[in-house]
Amino acid sequence: MISPLAHISQGAKIGENCTIEPFVYIEDNVVIGDNCHIMAHASILSGTRMGKNNRIFHGAVVGGIPQDLKFVGEDTTLEIGDNNTIRENVTMNRGTASKGKTVIGSNNLFMENCHIGHDSVIGSGCIIGNSTKIAGEVVISDFAILSACVLVHQFTHISSYVMIQGGTGITKDVPPYIIAGREPARYCGLNIVGLRRRGFSNEAIKSIRDAYRHIYESNTIVSTAVERIKESGNITPEVEKILHFIEKESERGIIA
């Protein structure tokens, strides 16, 4: 299952039942879990820690050093979960001294030519579209979908169950359950299709819609909208997640 034409350093640890195709390059200080498939011309570089059942397609470079001038060779990692698909020419950088690691969850799809910057944290169940670029220290929560050619500014936070339209630039935080798009990035409604696919009830979706009417359709500042939501008494778990994101998780402020 391992081609003799692959270069695998002696310090790399390869799990059971892995397929490693010709011209794969694997450095020392790499751990690859069971049942992974590494395709031709992919590179798995020092500091990479990979779980089970991952597929790395042709030309991907996983675990490259950060594209950050403050990086001076410190010992950092790229940690990848299970069941991820990493398509052609994807690049993923390991961490810097800032956080020490870049973290990728499980069951994600990273489409062709996307980039994941240093110290970023990507949740599980996400789709990152073709040629989308994620800068350093970005957080993307579970089940977010970023379409093609999205540009995400450093330090931004994209919450869960979000859909980002293709070609959008993200410079502020994106709260949960919504569609974001246009230029500059704006609230474009609820991600209703995504919510229904994930099993959200009509009642839950209605509570989310009611909350965002306060935030985006009432011509008030966000802090006032948050107080109105609290006063309404309709604080479902979904609404609580919205409020927690705005008050506790967002550091850059949410999109308009």
Q: Which residues are catalytic?
A: 118-119, 136
Q: How far apart are the first and last CA of the chain?
A: 52
Beta bridge partners, 152, equal 134, 170
Nearest to 94 by CA among 71, 110, 128: 71
How far apart (Å, rounded) are the C-alpha atoms in residues 253 and 215? 13
* Amino acid in position 187: Y
- Tokens at 16, concatenated: 């059971």
Q: Are 50 and 80 in contact (CB under 8 A)?
A: yes
Closest CA to 187 of 167, 166, 210, 213: 213
User: What is the C-alpha to C-alpha distance for residues 176 and 169, in angstroms, rounded to an integer?
Assistant: 17
Decide if 25 contacts 44 (C-beta within 8 A): yes
For residue 212, is it left (φ>0), alpha (ψ between -120 and 50) or beta? Answer: alpha
Distance CA 176, CA 190 (A): 9
DSSP state of 191: -
Q: What Cα–Cα distance (Å) separates residue 21 from each residue in 10, 57, 88, 190? A: 17, 10, 14, 43
